[in-house]
A and B are shown apart, each in its own frame.
Chain A
Amino acid sequence: MTRTSDLSELQSIARTVRRDIIEMIGAAKSGHPGGSLSAVEILVTLYFDVMKHDPANPTWPLRDRFILSKGHAAPVLYSVLAETGYTPKDQLNTLRRIGSIYQGHPDRRFIPALEASTGSLGVGLSLGLGMAEAAKLDKSPSRTYVVLGDGEIQEGQIWEAAMYGGFHKVDNIVAILDNNRLQLDGWVKDIMGIEPLADKWAAFGWHVIEVDGHDFVALQAAFAEAEATKGKPSILIAHTVKGKGVSFMENNPKYHGVAPTKEEVELALKEIG
């Protein structure tokens, strides 16, 4: 796989990933484009630059762990796994079809390189804490990264995990909150407000880093700051735009869980370039 810290290369990869997302959800005629597009820069930064991992050796014990706790954003993860060489790129358009390794939500029975099968919201951060604790016990440098949805943190288990991480000083885990401000039924602030986000996580003992979730340079700096932070876990509150990169999907709750039509796919691909 290509590893790169170069801004223009990362931007080019992000374009490819966005195209993959639109094409595979378009082909599947169902799926979650909005929350996949909002997390593109986060996953690209992690998989191509920040995380230590090896697609040729997915069970390398010292690898960093990644959990997509907001499992409905599976397309962005599938694209990144394919673009890094874990899984076949030419099967991406079998998303959600019977027998496909690209299941509706990430399923490690079909893709062993996945650290977790996710899709039921709220459980991924706790799972990541277990992996982080195991790494500490083994004195392994392995770090654990967990991407959470903003709607997802309405789940109570997230706060059990937040309490655990802060109390036990699990400083080898990083949560990334994809704060795109929309959930299925509408704006997060109207369904069940989650603010003040930074204050809440800080109160639970986490090091909070607010970052533009579409700015590679800012994300790189934020992950470096998280790694340098000892004695407490870190959370990146990544301010993002749901549907980012496709104008008619941006900030539009309709595209939380609705696939683009054939015409919309063409329009979107033209825009992404």
Chain B
Amino acid sequence: MAAKYELKLGAATREAFGKALVELGKENENVVVCDADLSKSTFTHLFGKEFPERFFSCGIAEANMVSIGAGLASSGKIAFVASFSAFVLNKGFEQLRVNVAYSGIPLKVVGTHSGISIGEDGPSQMSVEDLSLACSLAGFTVLSPADEPSMFALVKQAAYHPGAVFIRAGRVKVPVIYGPEQKFVIGKGIQLTEGTDLTLISTGLMVAECLRAAEVLEAEGLSVRVIDLHKVKPLDRELIAKAAAETGCIVVAEEHLVDSGLGVRVAQVVTETSPCVMEFHGVNDTYAESGLPEEVLVKYKMTGADVAVTARRAFGRKK
């Protein structure tokens, strides 16, 4: 592993989203934001406080919020709608399909509190199918940034992206992976470490866990490549194909239902380019439970140590 990552805790990606909105609001008066009574949790309240006339409080009515956002966007506004990922995608899905995807409206949709790491609130609020749903909307770009700096940068880019975008954000504070010099480009994944034996691909808070897994595996003598695919759709095919060809072994780790998230999408690219050994690490066809976020992550095997177990198994199959 060429670079060592010191994983110090930064802000939650939802907070970085809220701060990016404020900056966007300052630089462009066309930016508007809709929220559905979760503004203090999604951090859109920062924007609402600064720009009350451009903040649309929709009440607990996500379907209406998505369509209103689409109406604002179709009238030339740079419109963001935000809620918990589980609510904006599940309750607003029909509206995202008809008013946004099918209608070709460049709405920006942000789902916070994604995955199982929201912890105490439990499965009704946990979104373990949001990447699947968002990726099934034709024409959507789907982003899932790993840390505070990447979320901040990608929200700002998403605002000016010509099409519809879904951005997945998390509740808990996550380690900072990127320094201030890092450039983020929508469409390009980021290779965090060199490596020739196997590749760990992930997104969101699992990127930091993959770095932890890589450290363990490196100590065992393996050369591990780690890739952050902050763009889940469309995928960075080139980077994936290169990793498949050069390492011959890929493990995808995600805080999402393993049968329908990032992993199967990566597998599609690998199959079409350079087939190799693959294993998939995620939430296995179940709903998690309440608990402290770190307890839930441990119980449902979302730690670096767990990813390392899957990686060893995959590497064993390669030989």
Contact = CB atoms under 8 A, between A and B. Distances in A.
B188 interface: no
B103 interface: yes
Contact of B103 (A61, A108, A129, A131): A108
A135 B67 contact: no
B162 interface: no
A47 B174 CA distance: 55
Given A137-B54, A163-B59, A163-B61, A115 B67 contact: no
Nearest to B77: A134
B59 A127 contact: no
Given A126-B68, A137-B54, A160-B61, A116 B99 contact: yes
B119 interface: no
A165 to B, nearest CB: 10
Interface in A204-261: none
A123 interface: yes
A70 to B, nearest CB: 14
A189 interface: no
Nearest to B36: A160
Contacts of B66: 126
A108 B99 CA distance: 11
A161 B64 contact: yes
Interface in A146-195: 156-157, 160-161, 163-164, 167-168
Interface residues on B, range: 20 to 34
Interface in B50-69: 53-54, 56, 58-59, 61, 63-64, 66-69
Interface string A77-118: 000000000000000000000000000000011000001111
Contacts of B103: 108, 116-117
A150 B69 CA distance: 25
B107 to A, nearest CB: 9
A123 B99 contact: yes
B76 A123 contact: no
B71 A137 contact: no
Question: Contact size class for A?
Answer: 20 to 34
Most buried by A among B56, B71, B99, B104: B71
A126 B64 contact: yes
Contact of B71 (A130, A138, A167): A130
B61 A127 contact: no
Contact of A128 (B61, B71, B76, B94): B71
26 contacts: A115-B74, A116-B99, A116-B103, A117-B103, A119-B98, A123-B95, A126-B71, A126-B95, A127-B74, A130-B71, A130-B74, A130-B79, A133-B56, A133-B68, A133-B71, A134-B71, A137-B32, A157-B64, A157-B95, A160-B61, A160-B63, A163-B59, A163-B61, A164-B58, A164-B61, A167-B59
Given A120-B97, A123-B99, A133-B56, 20 more contacts: A120-B94, A126-B95, A126-B99, A127-B68, A129-B64, A130-B70, A130-B71, A130-B72, A130-B73, A130-B79, A131-B75, A133-B68, A134-B76, A134-B77, A135-B75, A138-B75, A157-B67, A163-B59, A164-B59, A164-B61
Interface of B: 32, 53-54, 56, 58-59, 61, 63-64, 66-77, 79, 94-95, 97-99, 102-104
Interface of A: 61, 65, 108-109, 115-120, 123, 126-135, 137-138, 156-157, 160-161, 163-164, 167-168
